[in-house]
Structure 1
Amino acid sequence: MNSTSPSSSPPIEGLAVLSDSHTAALVDAAGSVVYMSGGDRPDSPLVFARLLGEEENGFWRIRPYGPAELRSRSYRRDTMITETVWDVPQGGGTVTVVDHMAVRGPGVGVGHLIREVRLHKAIAEFEFRPRFDDGLAVPNIIVGRSEGGHPQWTFRHRDRDRGPVVTLVAHLAPGLETDHENGLVRGRLLRSGAAFVMSLGPQPSRPVSPVSRRASTQRHGRAWVDRNVAYRGRYEALVKRSMLTLEGLRYAPTGAIIAAATTSLPEALGGVRNWDYQHHWWRDADITLTAMIEGGAVDGLAEWRAFALKTIGDDPAGVRIMCGVAGEQNLPEREIGHLSGYENSRPVRRGNAAVDQFQLDVYGSIVHALVRIASRIGWTAASAQMVMALARVAEARWREPDSGLWESRGGRKHHTYSKVMAWLAVDRARELASTGEVPAVHDPLEAARLRAVADLIRADVLTCGFDQEQQAFTQSYGGPELDASLLRLPLIGFIAADDPRMVGTVEALMDQLVDERGFMLRYRTTGDRSADGLPGHEGRFLMCSFWLVEVLARIGRQKEAAAIFDNLVGVAGPLGLLAEEYQPAGGGRGGRQLGNFPQALSHAGLISAAAAMNRSGAWSDTSQGAGA
C-alpha cells in the first residue's frame, strides 16, 4: 500500500492543507490527518501531532483495507476540498475519500473536519486517535448517539477543566470498535456512503449534513476566487492555489495572517532550526498582502488594517515585530519535550523568542502594507495618521543596529535592508503629507522635512551599505557578506533594477548564493555557528528565489527569469503547495521541501513573481503551465 511506515515522517511536499480560516489540518498521502490544533485558533494545542512525533501522538487515518495503489489526489477546482482515490486490485474496486474543513454556517462552528468515504467493490478501514496537550494526553471516551441517531463518540481531557472537547459522529458506519484504554475508535467500512464529522467543542445544536456542508464549502471557495483572483496567464492554476492557501492562513476573527500553518518543521533534517510560525509577523503580512493585492484580492484587507490599528493603538514606538493572532504581545518560547520532532529534528517549539528582538524594518513593513491596502480600498484618516506616526519612530531609530529581518540570534548589526525599510517608512509618509490625498495629514512643510530625512537615510545606505570591491550591496554595513534580502531594494522603489549597483548586486548574489537551477540561500551558513548565532545549515529559501525572478524580469533578463520560475514551481508538491525551503537532491537523497508548511512567504513569492513575469512580457501567451 502507498503509505509511510509508523516510524517515518510523511514527506512535507505530499501534505494537503485544509482550513476554515480559523484553524487548519494537514493530511498526508496515506490518508492520515497528521496535524491539527484542538481549538479555535491556529496555535491551540494539537489534537493530532503525528507529524511532529509518532503515531502515539495522535492521528486520524482512513485508507483501503488491504493492498491498494494511490490513483489520484487533488483539490477540487477553486476550493480547499481534497479528493483522494485508491485502486484496490482485488476485485477491481476503488476507495475515494473527500476531505474538507467546513466553513462556518448554521449548526457549524469552528473546526468541523468532514471526511466522506465512497466504496466501490472495496472495504476501507479507519482509526481515530486524538491526543490532547500537543499529542500527550490520552482522552476519556463517552459513547452515545447524535441528534440524527448516528454513532457518536465524545473525547474529553481526563482533567475535565483542561483542553477542548472533540466529538466524532459517524454517518452510516456501523460496527466500529471503541478502545477506551487507548482512547481510540477504529473499524472497517463495508458500506458505500460512510461519512465522518469531527467537531472541536460542543456538538452543534442541529445535525450537520456532510454533503450539504461540502456543497456550502465548495460554493464559498469558488465565490472567493471569483471575487479575489484577477490573475490571468501562465500558471494560473498555481496562482489560484497560492491565493486560496494565503486566504486559508488568514485568521478570520481578527484579520491577522499567520506565517505558516505549523510549528517546528525543520529547516535542516535533524537540526535545531525549528521554529513556531503560527503567529502574525508584520513583515510577512506585508509581503503576503502585497502579493494578494497583485493577484486581485480585496476581501480581508479592511479587516487586516483594523487589526493593525487596534494592535498598535497609540503606541507605535512599542510595536513588536510579531504578535499573536488576537494581537497578543507575550509569546514566550518553550520546548515541547514529549514530541520527538519531524524526522527526529528537535526541539519542537511553541512561541518564538524573536518577539523580543528589535528589527528596524518593522515600521516600514507596516507602512508599506497600509499604503498598498489604500491603493486598493482607499485611505482612512486613522490609517494615514498611523503611517505618519510610524515614520516618526523610524526617523528616531534608523541609526540603531538591529537583529535584521532574518531574526539573527548572533547579535545586532547595521543591516542594510533594515535601513532601507526605515527609508521607506519616511518616504511614504513624505508622499502622503505632500499629496493632500488625506486632508488630516496634509502638511507641505512636514513633507519637505521628511524628504530631507529620507534623502539622508538613502545617502547613508548608498555609502555604507555598498561594497565598492564587490560592486554590490551587502548584508550589513562594513561587512562583505551578501544577503538575499537585498533583492527587495528595487521591488520597493529604493533603486532601479537596472541601476549598475543593483545589477552588480544581482551578479554577486547569483555567484555566491544561487545554485545552477536558481534556488537561493538567504545567506551563507558555516555549519558550525554562523553569523546568525545558530549551528547547522538550511535549505534554499523559496521566497528569495522568487524575488530573484522578479528582479531578473525587471532588468530585462526574462529568459533566465522564466527558467528559474519553471524550476521553482516544479518542486511544488502534487497539490501545488510550498514549504519555506527546498533542499536539492544530493548525498544519495532526492530533493525535498523543508520548513513550516504551507508557508505564506513562499506562496506570496510565487504570486508576485508570476505577476512580474506577466508585466514584463516574459510570457508572450497565456497558455497554462503545470498547476494544481
Structure 2
Amino acid sequence: MLQKHTYDMGLIGNCAYLALIRKDASVAWLCWPRFDSSFIFGNLLDTQKGGSFTIQPSTSAFNSYQYYIENTNVLCTEIENEDGRYRVTDFAPRFSQYDRYYKPLMFIRKIEPLAGAPRIKVCCEPVGQYGIQTLDQRRSSNHIAFLGLEEEMRLTTNIALSYLLDKEYFVLNETKYLVMTYGAPLEAPLESTAEVFLTKTIKYWRNWVKNTSISNFYQTQVIRSALALKLHQYEDTGAIIAATTTSLPEAPHSTRNWDYRFCWMRDTYYILTAFNNIGHFEELERYFHYIANVSAKAKDKFQPLYSISTGTDLIEQELSHLDGYLGNKPVRIGNDAYTHIQNDVYGQVLVALLPLYVDRRFIGEERVESEKLIYKTLYHIQRTMDMPDAGLWEFRNFAQYHCYTYLFHWAGSKAALKVANFLQNQEMANMAERLMHEAASKIEACYDPVRGVYTNAIGSPHLDASTLQLIMMGYLDPNSERAHSHLRNLEQELKTPNGLFYRYRHQDDFGIPETTFLVCSFWYVESLACVGRLQDASREFERLLSYTNHLGLLSEDVDATTGSQWGNFPQAYSHVGLMNAAYRITKRLDVPNFI
C-alpha cells in the first residue's frame, strides 16, 4: 500500500509574514519582507540551498508532538529523547498598540526544558535571492547580524553565541530565546520582551476568536480554518493570497508546480462570504478596499490575479538551481496566469461591491466612486459576453465559452441590478437586467438535455465541478429536478468513493489531473445542503476533515487513492471551502451560534 503523504508542518504569522515549522522544530519556509519575497528559509524547496533554522536534539531518535495553543496561531513543538524533553514555542508578534496593530517582521522562538537534561544544537543560516546569495555574518555582544539584503537581519539571543556560530550542542538547563528581526532590530530586554509579546499575542488571537460568529457544528475545525485564513491576509493592503508557498506539486512529478503567493480575483466572492459568515467585518472591509484599488487601476481589462500590492507584472520564472520539493521540479516564481483572459473576474468584482449597498456597516462616503466602477464593470461584461476565455482553472493553451464565466456574468449583473435599485438608477437597472438575460441564455446553451446536466462549456461534453456553483449561487432552484439531476451527474462522474471531488476528468494542457481539488469537495457539501440532502452533507463534511494534517491545516489537492496532501500549503481556498460548507449546513440545520 502506498504511504500517505502529509505536510507535517504548522503555520505561524501576523498578517505581515508567514512561516512554516516542521514537527522537528526546523523552519521549512519563511519569506521576508513580504509574502511574495524571496525565502530566507526555504528548506522546503531545497535542503542544501534553502538555508536553515534548526533546533536539533542530541540524537536522531526522538518523539515529537506539535500543537497550537488553543484558539491562537502560536505553535508549540515538544521534542523528547533519551536525554530529556523540551518545548519550542514559535510565534509572530501581533497585538493592538497605539490604536493600531503591532505586527513587526520579528520571529520569536522560546525554548523551554521540560524534563531531564536535554542537549540541543541551534543552527541559523538565512539566505537571499532564493538560495543564490549567502549572507555575511557579524558577531556582536548579544546578537548575530546577517548582512547582504536590503535591510539588516539580526538574531538576538541569550544562547552563547559560540554555540550558535560553532554549531555545538549544549545542555538546555534554562529557558532560551531567539528573536530574529528584519529591518528594525529588538532594542529592548530580550527575555521580558519576548514573554510580554507572547502573552499579548495569545490574548489578541483569543479575543479575535471570541469576536467570531461560529456555530457548534465542528466548531474547533472552523476556528482553525478561520485562523489560517486570517494569516493569509496581507494587512498592509488587504490582499489575501491563495497559499503560503510556491511550487509544491499538485501531484508527484506532474510539473504542476505553481506560485500561489498572489491574490486571485476569482476567490473574491468566496473569501468575502467566509469572513461575512463568521461576522468579521474588519477583514472583509480591508479586502474590499484592496479589490477597489485593483478595480480602479484596471484599464482595458481585469487580470485574473495581482500581487499583494496590486502589482500587475507577475512574470513567471523557473529557478533551475533549486531541487524542488522532494525533487519535484520546476520551482517557479511569478505566475503566467496574470496574462490569461478570465472573464468571470468582472462578475466577481460586482458581487464584491454589493455589500457597499446592502450592508449598513458601510457608510455613504465609501460608495462615492463605486457607481462609476459598476458601470465600468458592466461594460466589461457586455464586451466579453461573446468572448471565449481560459476559465476558472486557467487552461493555458485553449479557450472556451465556459459555463462558470457566464454564471458570474449573471451573478454580477444581478448584483448590479440590486445596486441600481438602491440608487434608483433606471439606466443601470435596464443594462444589468439585459446582461442577466444574455448570461442566462449562454448558461442554458451549456445544458445537455439528454443527460440532464450542465457541461463545462458551450458545445463541450465534459463536466466540471465549478458548475456546482449553479446550485450554490441560486441560478438553479435547489428544489428543482434540474438541480437534483445536475448534482447526480456530477457525483457520478467526478466524485470518488471516499467523497473527494475532481475539478474535471478530461485532459488539459498537462494531461489528465491526478489529484482531487479539495475546495470542490466542499462545494459538493454545500450543494448537498442546498438541495436538502443534509444527512449526506454532514457525512461528507465529516469525511473531508480526515484530509487535514495533524494541526487541522488543509492542502490544495488530495490523492484519492492514498488520501495524501499535495499542492501548495496551507491553501486558503480550501479553508474558505470548509468554513462556507460548515456555515451552509448550520443554516439548514438551524444550529445555534455559541460564539
TM-score interval for Structure 1 and Structure 2 normalised by the shorter chain: over 0.9
Answer yes or no: is the 8 Å Cα contact 1:427–1:454 preserved in 2: yes
Answer yes or no: is the 8 Å Cα contact 1:173–1:189 preserved in 2: no
Equivalent residues in 2 for 1:179-194, closer than 5 Å: 187-194=169-176
Distance 2:513 2:330 in 1: 16
Partner of 2:45: 52
Q: State the 1:132 CA deviation.
A: 1.3
Q: State the 1:234 CA deviation.
A: 1.8
Partner of 1:37: 31
Q: Does 1:224 align with 2:205?
A: no
Question: What SS class does the counterpart of residue 353 from structure 2 fall into?
Answer: helix
Q: Does 1:124 align with 2:115?
A: no
Answer yes or no: is the 8 Å Cα contact 1:257–1:285 preserved in 2: no
Deviations 1:568-615 (A, max 9, x none): 111111111001111133xxxx43111111111100000000011111
Deviations 1:512-549 (A, max 9, x none): 11101110000114xxxx2x312363311110000000
Q: Which 10-residue stretch deviates more, 294-303 or 605-614?
A: 294-303
Q: State the 1:497 CA deviation.
A: 2.2
Distance 2:413 2:554 in 1: 34
Question: What SS class does the counterpart of residue 85 from structure 2 fall into?
Answer: strand
Tell me which of 238, 256, 263 is aligned to 1:255: 238
| Identity within the alignment, % | 27
Partner of 2:376: 389
Structure 2 counterpart of 1:113, one-letter code: F
Question: What SS class does the counterpart of residue 354 from structure 2 fall into?
Answer: helix
Partner of 2:66: 73
Partner of 2:14: 20
Question: What SS class does the counterpart of residue 520 from structure 2 fall into?
Answer: helix
Answer yes or no: is the 8 Å Cα contact 2:62–2:80 preserved in 1: yes
Question: What SS class does the counterpart of residue 604 from structure 1 fall into?
Answer: helix
Distance 1:130 1:445 in 2: 59
Structure 1 counterpart of 2:446, one-letter code: G
Tell me which of 576, 582, 591 is aligned to 1:610: 582
Partner of 1:571: 547
Q: State the 1:479 CA deviation.
A: 0.8
Partner of 1:513: 494
Structure 2 counterpart of 1:77, one-letter code: E
Question: What SS class does the counterpart of residue 224 from structure 1 fall into?
Answer: helix
Question: Structure 1's 373 and 539: CA in aligned 2 closer, same or farther, altered over 3 A?
Answer: farther
Question: Structure 1's 389 and 246: CA in aligned 2 closer, same or farther, altered over 3 A?
Answer: same
Distance 1:187 1:605 in 2: 45
Tell me which of 172, 178, 195 is aligned to 2:165: 178
Answer yes or no: is the 8 Å Cα contact 1:281–1:323 preserved in 2: yes
Q: State the 1:187 CA deviation.
A: 4.1
Deviations 1:370-391 (A, max 9, x none): 2246544336233344233212
Distance 2:337 2:473 in 1: 24
Distance 1:113 1:536 in 2: 41
Partner of 1:600: 572
Partner of 2:89: 98
Q: Does 1:491 align with 2:463?
A: no
Question: What SS class does the counterpart of residue 51 from structure 1 fall into?
Answer: coil
Root mean square deviation of aligned Cα: 2.4
Q: State the 1:313 CA deviation.
A: 1.4
Partner of 2:280: 297
Q: State the 1:452 CA deviation.
A: 2.6
Q: Which 10-residue stretch deviates more, 246-255 or 316-325?
A: 316-325
Equivalent residues in 2 for 1:144-543, closer than 5 Å: 144-145=140-141, 151-157=142-148, 162-173=149-160, 175-178=162-165, 187-208=169-190, 209-227=193-211, 229-313=212-296, 315=298, 317-372=300-355, 375-376=358-359, 377-378=361-362, 380-434=367-421, 436=422, 439=423, 442-462=424-444, 464-525=445-506, 530=507, 532-535=508-511, 537-543=513-519
Distance 1:363 1:426 in 2: 9
Q: Which 10-residue stretch deviates more, 105-114 or 216-225?
A: 105-114
Q: State the 1:307 CA deviation.
A: 1.9
Q: Which 10-residue stretch deviates more, 204-213 or 355-364?
A: 204-213
Q: State the 1:192 CA deviation.
A: 1.9
Q: State the 1:12 CA deviation.
A: 4.5
Q: State the 1:25 CA deviation.
A: 0.5
Question: What SS class does the counterpart of residue 27 from structure 1 fall into?
Answer: strand
Deviations 1:206-242 (A, max 9, x none): 4452111111211221222223x10121211111111
Distance 2:184 2:493 in 1: 55
Deviations 1:26-48 (A, max 9, x none): 01111110111132x10111111
Tell me which of 127, 130, 142 is aligned to 1:134: 130
Q: Which 10-residue stretch deviates more, 46-55 or 205-214?
A: 205-214
Structure 2 counterpart of 1:484, one-letter code: A
Structure 2 counterpart of 1:366, one-letter code: V
Q: How many residues align?
A: 582
Distance 2:375 2:168 in 1: 59
Distance 2:358 2:419 in 1: 12
Deviations 1:231-278 (A, max 9, x none): 121211111111111110000110011111111111011121010000
Question: Structure 1's 330 and 205: CA in aligned 2 closer, same or farther, altered over 3 A?
Answer: same
Question: What SS class does the counterpart of residue 128 from structure 1 fall into?
Answer: strand
Question: What SS class does the counterpart of residue 196 from structure 1 fall into?
Answer: strand
Instruction: Give the structure-2-normalised TM-score.
Output: 0.93
Partner of 1:182: none
Partner of 2:56: 63
Structure 2 counterpart of 1:275, one-letter code: W
Distance 1:622 1:303 in 2: 25
Q: Tell me, which stretches of 5 or more residues in structure 1 are unaligned? A: 1-8, 146-150, 180-184
Question: Structure 1's 323 and 449: CA in aligned 2 closer, same or farther, altered over 3 A?
Answer: closer
Question: What SS class does the counterpart of residue 565 from structure 1 fall into?
Answer: helix
Answer yes or no: is the 8 Å Cα contact 1:282–1:362 preserved in 2: yes
Structure 2 counterpart of 1:46, one-letter code: F
Question: Structure 1's 116 and 125: CA in aligned 2 closer, same or farther, altered over 3 A?
Answer: same
Answer yes or no: is the 8 Å Cα contact 1:415–1:475 preserved in 2: yes
Q: State the 1:128 CA deviation.
A: 1.4
Partner of 2:522: 546
Distance 2:427 2:159 in 1: 73
Answer yes or no: is the 8 Å Cα contact 1:583–1:593 preserved in 2: yes
Structure 2 counterpart of 1:223, one-letter code: N
Instruction: Give the structure-1-normalised TM-score.
Output: 0.88
